[in-house]
Amino acid sequence: MHVSNVITSRVRELALLLLSGMLLHSCANDPSTLADGVPDAVIIPHNIGVGYTRNAALVEKQKLNETRTPDVIFVPTPYDVIERMLKMAKVKKDDLLYDLGCGDGRIVVTAAKGYGCKSVGFDIDPERVKESLENVKKNNVEHLVRIEQKDIFTLDLSEADVITLYLLRSLNAKLIPQLEKLRPGARIVSHDFDMRGVKPDESVTIISSEDDYEHDIFLWTTPLKKEEESDD
Ligand SMILES: C[S@@+](CC[C@H](N)C(=O)[O-])C[C@H]1O[C@@H](n2cnc3c(N)ncnc32)[C@H](O)[C@@H]1O
């Protein structure tokens, strides 16, 4: 991989981490997000640094909320990147595809429409689940696509043939114990982020015509090939 590509994906990872961190900070300080349930992950917080006095009830609500706060904010994968991810994963009609953190449902809808396969999108954020359901309905793929509000780290993935990811490198690595339960020959494709400690079978970098940026795509086939830990 070129140095410039590494820098681009690291910059994007840092941006996602930073925005997700800002979101958590904002939620912890803004009682309105505590009162209304799970906050909207796309809205960039406007009240960083504003302090509120919290009573015990609010602290309790915050605790509840924190267990449901997304680990990373919603940033959509461009459609041409999705097409390439699905092609790399060699998706077939009889595959079952899971998108872990499905955002607005664009990957599961594209897979169902393009390949006729069954797919399930999981997201922890109720707003994303609502958008995904609307997307599924708009594209008439209700017979192929299911959307579930779930924390991806609680899922049994063993039924899936293809897993798609657009999370963070650290979150991909956190999924390893679950991914190891996939049947041999299952495919995992990740937008922009590799998986610490696991060697990909293939990686490509493409420039999306939607944003003119370089996007990395990584493919792993199970069983996963563990490698020595690196320091980066
Ligand atoms: C970067 S977006 C990717 C969206 C979509 N997969 C795509 O590529 O367009 C990550 C998504 O993961 C969701 N998410 C974050 N942490 C999660 C968790 N622990 N369980 C389920 N979804 C989560 C976020 O709400 C967000 O919609």
Q: Residue 137 C-alpha to ligand 1 middle, in angstroms?
A: 20
41 Cβ below 6 A of ligand 1: yes
* Backbone CA torsion sign across 88, 93, 99, 104: positive
193 Cβ below 6 A of ligand 1: no
102 Cβ below 6 A of ligand 1: yes
Q: What percent of the chain has pLDDT over 90?
A: 68
77 Cβ below 6 A of ligand 1: yes
**Cβ neighbour number for residue 176 with a 10 Å cutoff:** 14
Q: Which atom of ligand 1 is nearest to the CA of 101?
A: 12
Q: What's the chain's Rg over C-alpha atoms? A: 18
Query: Which residue's alpha carbon is nearest to atom 8 within ligand 1?
Result: 77
User: Any residues with CB less than 8 A from the CB of 38 and at least 6 apart, and which?
Assistant: 65, 68, 69, 124, 125, 126, 127
Q: What percent of the chain has pLDDT over 70?
A: 69
User: Any residues with CB less than 8 A from the CB of 51 and at least 6 apart, and which?
Assistant: 29
pLDDT at 166 over 70: yes
pTM: 0.80
153 Cβ below 6 A of ligand 1: yes
Question: Quick one: which of 207, 208, 226, 215 has its CA closest to 189?
Answer: 215
- Predicted pLDDT at 229: 61
Query: Candidates 72, 80, 217: which one to mutate for ligand 1, based on the most atoms within 8 Å of Cβ?
Result: 72
Distance, in Å, from the CA atom of 204 to the CA atom of 23, rounded to the nearest integer, reads 31
Which residue would you say has higher pLDDT here, 81 or 52? 81
Q: Residue 123 C-alpha to ligand 1 middle, in angstroms?
A: 6
If you ran DSSP here, which 8-state letter would residue 159 be given? T
Q: What is the mean pLDDT of residues 122-131?
A: 97
133 Cβ below 6 A of ligand 1: no
Q: Per mean pLDDT, which range of 11-20, 91-100, 136-145, 195-204 is the poorest?
A: 11-20
- Is there a contact between 97 and 109 (Cβ–Cβ < 8 Å)? no
Q: Residue 167 C-alpha to ligand 1 middle, in angstroms?
A: 6
Query: Candidates 73, 155, 171: which one to mutate for ligand 1, based on the most atoms within 8 Å of Cβ?
Result: 73
